[in-house]
Amino acid sequence: MTSTTATAPTQAVPRRSFGEVWVISIGHALTHWYPATFYLLLPLIGKELGLSYSEIGSILTCQYAAGAIANVPGGIFVDTVGRKGLLMAVSLCWIGFPYLLMGVSHTYWMMLFCATLVGIGNNIWHPTAIPWLGDRFPDRKGLAMSFHGMGANVGDAVAPLVIGSLLQLYNWRTVVVLNVVPGILVAGLILFYIGRLQNADARAGHAKDKPEQLGAERLRMLGELLRNRALVTLSIGSAFRSMTQGALLTFLPLYLARVMGYPSLWIGGCMFALQAAGFMAAPIAGHLSDRIGRRQIIMSSMSMTGVIILAMTFAGGSSWFVFLVAVLGFFLFAVRAVLQAWLLDATPPGMGGSAIGILFGAQAVGMALGPVSAGMVADRYGIMAAFYFLAGTIIIANLLVFITPSGLIKPREN
């Protein structure tokens, strides 16, 4: 499938303000705020419950394994039902509630159960929000995806700072209770805002019809998606990239706490540096991918990620390690939005939610395997060996992007 058939809209699309992108990006920030909070709490939870590295990693493995199972059905559900504003609001509330339950839990198995609930709820957001933005900004898809990705970086970056500060005043159980409030407020904002946009589109005659393909026809189209080589290689490559990200976000705070002896506030600052660098990289990568192509941006960023992770293994225990963490964030998080834009370029109209569901299902598998695999490596060979493991996974991801079929992307002309 060429980029022309994948991206050309069937109707003239009105020029839209990027204000709606910012509102959806705020919601995306909250979907990442809660997991980012949990990464910072994991060392405290692990210490209180007496968990090993493998058990700590398995909590996140349950979360992402549940997501891997729920993603594809969730994408089909989104394409079939519509009601984008309601679904995004439900997703935010669903993500926040299990963390509230964790605040009153005292067993390892209850932590696994709550993590599973988070994994299911989080997968409503992406098949809803990403295709919605892609449909509304077809000629600036990479840039729109990058702003949406910046929301993730904001949530991932600000949450460790805020939670690190709160942990100086309260215990972790009190913090997770306070943490539910932002999700409820933003869910209400999105429900109101998207409903108003849809009503305005209906009055202007731009509202889209409900999906025509239902039942067997939609399953047939899903089968065609699964035979799309570009979708398959991008999804598997993204899974290995997610292995790198999931294990890094799990074991970087553990390394800083247990090896370098940093307090919670300083660990939060390091995680902020990682995400802030990604925040700056996202719009640059998205804009360039619209201009010169997705492949070049993804491969260069992934290559630099592997180099920097290897450099971190030599800088362990020194101040250079913290500096390299920030540089790593610039390259690691730059490609998330570009991968999503490339996938949507190769997806037929009306199947965006299903395609994103497949992508995020593959990513959830990677996020599930990454923490527990790195945990087993760390238990056997030491925590620094986990970083060598991460360098290997990002190299595999880059190779898969390299063999993705070319000719799918047509850069936007000046």
pLDDT over 80 (residue 313): no
Task: At 219, list the tokens.
Answer: 């399953």
pLDDT band at 14 (very low <50, low <70, confident <90, very high): low
Neighbours of 39 (CB within 10 A): 25
* CATH 3.90.580.10 at 17-202+214-402, yes or no: no
pLDDT over 50 (residue 10): no
List the domain boundaries for the chain. Answer: 17-202+214-402
DSSP-derived letter for residue 182 is H
pLDDT band at 202 (very low <50, low <70, confident <90, very high): low
Neighbours of 314 (CB within 10 A): 12
Q: What is the 3-state secondary structure (H, E, C) of 101-120?
A: HHCCCCCHHHHHHHHHHHHH
Q: What percent of the chain has pLDDT over 90?
A: 0
What pLDDT is attached to residue 317? 65
Helix axes 336-345, 141-166, angle to 10 degrees: 150
Look up the pTM and report it.
0.64
Cα–Cα distance, 25 to 151 (Å, whole number): 5
Please provide residue 106's backbone torsions phi and psi, each rounded to the nearest 5 degrees: -130, 10
- pLDDT tens figures, 116-146: 888 787 777 878 888 888 777 777 777 888 8
The predicted model gives 202-208 an average pLDDT of 56
Q: What percent of the chain has pLDDT over 70?
A: 85
